[in-house]
Amino acid sequence: MLSAAVSEYIATGEPVSSQELAGSFDLSPATLRNILAELEDDGYLFSPHTSSGRVPTDKGYRYYVDFLMSDQALGEQQRKAILSGYNARFSSLENILDRTSDIIASLTHYTALVSFSEWEDRIFYRGLSNIFAHPEFHDFEKIAILVGLLEEKKQLLQLLNQRLEEPFKIYIGEEIACPCINDVCSLVISPYRSGTKRIGRIAVLGPRRMSYDSTISTLEFISDTLNSVLEGF
């Protein structure tokens, strides 16, 4: 039930009611309402308004990502788009990382971030307008805060480049530990390497309501492809 509720909310952006889930389960409306109420009591969902449906909490998203979300294989068209994006003669590492940010933003439709651990004040980002297409960011104050965060760079770089030895990481809401965007954003991070040494991170910054399955499969393939490009550079 939680998986269906989270998936529905990700797809529509609207609070999910028992009526909207009825077609997916052979259960009475009363039973569905009771299950949703139990999930709310357990902290996985919450009701933004008394008479509305329910939306996932950070705890709900975390449980969905860790235990309920199915692995989504990256489509052949997306794979070809990524490989063709790197089908160029690169003159510098900067060119490669800049191209990587373009590829990530164009395929995920969120904001792409690329860091290199030895650069203390540089970060490549693309697709800022992508994130503003989501209703979570229609508030001018949120837009100004996010733009400032990207321009200032230091706080994001600290987050991206910490614990470089760790593999793929997903920060949801408050897990980002960046109070100015905790209530609206999630951050998906993957390391890339040169040889066996992890030297930087690629990441996607999007709403908590992001399509985690497709974002993860896309970022994993881009990371593997970037590793191959750097080996031959």
Give me the architecture of the 2-68 domain, per CATH: Orthogonal Bundle (1.10)
Domain boundaries 76-231, corresponding CATH code: 3.30.450.40
Does the pTM surpass 0.85? The reply is yes
**In sequence order, what DSSP letters do the residues of 20-44 get, joined into one string?**
HHGGGSSS-HHHHHHHHHHHHHTTS
Give the bridge partners for 56, in sequence order.
Answer: 45
- Which amino acid would we find at residue 137? F
The pair of three-digit structure tokens given for residue 163, joined into one six-digit string:
């614990």
The pair of three-digit structure tokens given for residue 35, joined into one six-digit string:
């299950």
Please report, in tens digits, the pLDDT of each residue of the chain (233 residues total).
Answer: 999 999 999 999 999 999 889 888 888 888 999 999 999 999 999 998 766 799 999 999 999 999 999 888 899 999 999 999 999 889 999 999 999 999 999 999 999 999 998 888 889 999 988 988 888 887 888 788 888 888 878 888 888 877 767 788 999 999 988 888 888 899 999 999 988 888 999 999 999 999 999 999 999 999 999 999 999 88
CATH 3.30.450.40 residue spans of the chain: 76-231
* Distance (Å, whole) CA 32 – CA 212: 25
Answer yes or no: are the C-beta atoms of 4 and 70 closer than 8 Å.
no
CATH 1.10.10.10 residue spans of the chain: 2-68
Query: Does residue 174 sit in helix, strand or coil?
Result: helix
* Distance (Å, whole) CA 4 – CA 209: 14
